[in-house]
């Protein structure tokens, strides 16, 4: 059986812990074939993002077209999008990929707290969600996408239900920013079905790239034909394994141990 062909549309992380570097590692370790359309170049490390240079939208589209026309695409994972213009252009291009699952990680802020999307880009996320199969917001992103106040898991569930219903998209709401000892993630379908995962929180500062890794792992599962909930189950376990295998690099929010844990 051929590996699922995963097109990753995301920004580069020079520190290697998140962004397209984490995506490629994740897809490869889980048996997928990773292809890329780089949307932005960043200068960053575990302490923060020092500079961001968006790639022109035309070049992002050229990358997408080059791989899609020759190699083919089984599933798409979208991360940092770079600019509002690029978001609009990518959404239009992906709308033509009928039947291809699309996992959208609405990256707005790096783990260090550095902004990675301006207000216009966040506003343009609506276009991408209109074409996507699933969106995977953390709590601050879910707040930005819904305008709701979220202080606990119950409010997170209500916000996720609203987003799923209004955008007609599956929502994987990640509870890592809550302070409970038990971490709760929720998968909400457009029909309002809720699937809940609970696990003991891993106490670590080496969590850079968790969102990128989770979304890419889900994409590989969907590319293999797994049901959405099953793809999330496998992805969550993968993220936990690489968090536990973190090598301890850097003085800030360090990278996880892709390739050092059990896939």
Range of the domain at 129: 5-140+204-244
Is the pLDDT assigned to residue 119 strictly greater than 70? yes
Would residue 263 count as lying in a domain? no
Would residue 120 count as lying in a domain? yes
Cα–Cα dist 221/235, whole Å: 8
Q: Is 144 or 109 the better-scoring residue by pLDDT? A: 144
- Please, what's the b/e burial string for 167-191 (b: 16 or more CB within 10 A of its CB; e: otherwise)? bebbbbbbbeebeeeebbbbbbbee
Chain-wide mean pLDDT for the chain? 93
Instruction: Outline where 83-209 has alpha helix (H).
Output: 84-95, 119-129, 139-146, 153-167
Would residue 165 count as lying in a domain? no
* Lowest-confidence region among 5-14, 51-60, 176-185, 233-242: 176-185
pLDDT on residue 115: 64
Is the pLDDT assigned to residue 1 strictly greater than 90? no
> What is the pTM assigned to this prediction?
0.95
Is the pLDDT assigned to residue 196 strictly greater than 70? yes
The CATH number linked to 22 is 3.40.1190.20
Q: Is 76 or 113 the better-scoring residue by pLDDT? A: 76
pLDDT in tens, 6-59: 999 999 999 999 999 999 999 999 999 999 999 999 999 999 999 999 999 999
Task: Quote the number of domains for the chain.
Answer: 1
Would residue 64 count as lying in a domain? yes
Would residue 192 count as lying in a domain? no
* Lowest-confidence region among 13-22, 33-42, 118-127, 140-149: 118-127
Confidence of residue 113 (pLDDT cuts 50, 70, 90): low
Would residue 97 count as lying in a domain? yes
DSSP H or E stretch at residue 68? helix 57-70
pLDDT on residue 177: 86
Would residue 174 count as lying in a domain? no
pLDDT on residue 261: 58
Would residue 25 count as lying in a domain? yes
pLDDT on residue 263: 46
């Amino acid at each position: 059986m051929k590996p699922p062909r995963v097109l990753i549309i995301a920004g580069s992380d020079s520190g290697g812990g998140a962004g397209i570097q984490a995506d490629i590692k994740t897809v490869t370790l889980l048996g997928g074939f990773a292809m890329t359309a780089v949307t932005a170049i960043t200068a960053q490390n575990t302490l923060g993002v020092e500079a961001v240079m968006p790639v022109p939208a035309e070049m992002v589209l050229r990358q997408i077209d080059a791989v899609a026309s020759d190699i083919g695409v089984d599933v798409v994972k979208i991360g940092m999008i770079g600019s509002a213009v690029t978001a609009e252009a990518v959404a239009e291009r992906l709308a033509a990929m009928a039947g291809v699952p699309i996992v959208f990680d609405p990256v707005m802020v790096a783990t260090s707290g550095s902004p990675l999307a301006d207000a216009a880009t966040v506003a343009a996320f609506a276009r991408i969600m209109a074409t996507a199969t699933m969106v995977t917001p953390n709590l601050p992103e879910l707040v930005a996408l819904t305008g709701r106040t979220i202080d606990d898991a119950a409010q997170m569930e209500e916000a996720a239900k609203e987003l799923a219903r209004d955008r007609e998209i599956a929502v994987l709401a990640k509870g890592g920013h809550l302070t409970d000892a038990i971490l709760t993630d929720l998968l909400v379908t457009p029909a309002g079905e809720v699937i809940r995962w609970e696990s003991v929180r891993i106490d670590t500062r080496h969590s850079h790239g968790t969102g990128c890794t989770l979304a890419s792992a889900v994409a590989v599962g969907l590319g293999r034909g797994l049901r959405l909930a099953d793809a999330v189950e496998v992805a969550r376990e993968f993220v936990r394994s690489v968090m536990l295998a973190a090598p301890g690099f850097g003085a800030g929010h360090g990278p996880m141990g892709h390739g050092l844990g059990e896939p």
